Structure 1
Amino acid sequence: MSKFKRLLYIVEFMVGFGPSLLILTVGVIFSPAIIAGVFTGHSESLLFVFLVLGGLVGFWGAISLLVLTLHPEQENTPPNRLKVYVLTGVIVSTFICCAVGITNLYLLPFICAPLFVTLHLVFIQRNYLRGSAANKVVNSDK
């Protein structure tokens, strides 16, 4: 893969995940207050805990997909585990898109952009996620 194409993938990832990553960072910063809310009996705080944890897991899956796209020869997350990570992130992003879409339509493209970037990376790595040997290095020593 050319360096220019790698740069385009990185720019796509940064533009797509930038606003959502800022919101996730705020969630991580306020997670002690959210967890304290869970222990004081505010049940809606439990939803925020799941959203922050699911967002972190989903972002980890997206980073793994990006690394797999940029460096397919390196060992990466196993396909089944990567599917769980990506699915968790998609569920959280879809929930957030629905919540933001109800309140502010102008923010919707920025919040839903990670779904499209993830869809693009999943499409590129569809053979790896199916478990085929397309990205596996073949040993010719045998």
Structure 2
Amino acid sequence: MNKLKRFAYIIEFMIGFAPSLLLLTLGVVFSPVIFVGLFSGDLIVLLYAALVFFGLCGFWGAISLLVLTLHPEQENTKPKRLKVYVALGVISSAIASYSVGGTNVYLLPFIIAPLFVTLHLVYVQRRYLSGSTANRVAGGI
């Protein structure tokens, strides 16, 4: 893969994940408050904790997909585990998109951008995610 294509993947990832990464960072910063809220008996706090946890797993999966796309010769996460990470991230992102879309429709494109970036990276790494070893030989798309 040439340098321009690598640069384009990195820029796509940074632009697509910037707003969601900001929300995830806020969730991690306020995780002690969420943790304390778990003991208060309020069930909505459990949803917030799950969103932060799923978001962290999903972001790890997205980073793994990006690294796998940039360096197809290096296997970093097994395909089954990567599918779980990506699925958890998609669930978290979909719930966040639904709640943000309900409050402000104009922010929705910024919040759903990670879904499209992840979809693109999953499409690029479809051979790897299907369990095929062709990714190491073909080098992705």
Query: Is TM (by shorter chain) over 0.5?
Result: yes
Structure 1 or 2: larger helix share? Answer: 2
Name 2:67's counterpart in structure 1: 67
- What pairs up with 1:86-101 in 2 under 5 angstroms? 86-101=86-101
Name 1:140's counterpart in structure 2: none
Distance (whole Å) between structure 2 residues aligned to residue 94 and residue 41 of structure 1: 25
Larger radius of gyration: 1
Matched, 1:136 2:136: yes
The aligned amino acid for 2:89 is G
Name 2:125's counterpart in structure 1: 125
Distance (whole Å) between structure 2 residues aligned to residue 72 and residue 21 of structure 1: 25
Q: Under a length normalisation based on structure 1, what TM-score does the superposition of the two structures give?
A: 0.94
Shift of 1:49: 0.2
Distance (whole Å) between structure 2 residues aligned to residue 103 and residue 75 of structure 1: 40
The aligned amino acid for 1:57 is C
Name 1:51's counterpart in structure 2: 51
Q: Under a length normalisation based on structure 2, what TM-score does the superposition of the two structures give?
A: 0.95
The aligned amino acid for 1:109 is P
Distance (whole Å) between structure 2 residues aligned to residue 130 and residue 43 of structure 1: 37
- What pairs up with 1:28-43 in 2 under 5 angstroms? 28-43=28-43
Distance (whole Å) between structure 1 residues aligned to residue 76 and residue 33 of structure 2: 34
Shift of 1:131: 0.7
Describe the SS at the equivalent of 2:111.
helix
Question: Where does the alignment leave 5 or more consecutive residues of structure 1 unmatched?
Answer: 138-142
Distance (whole Å) between structure 1 residues aligned to residue 15 and residue 4 of structure 2: 16
Shift of 1:80: 0.5
Divergent runs of 4+, >4 A: none
Describe the SS at the equivalent of 2:50.
helix
| Identical-pair percentage | 67
Describe the SS at the equivalent of 1:136.
helix
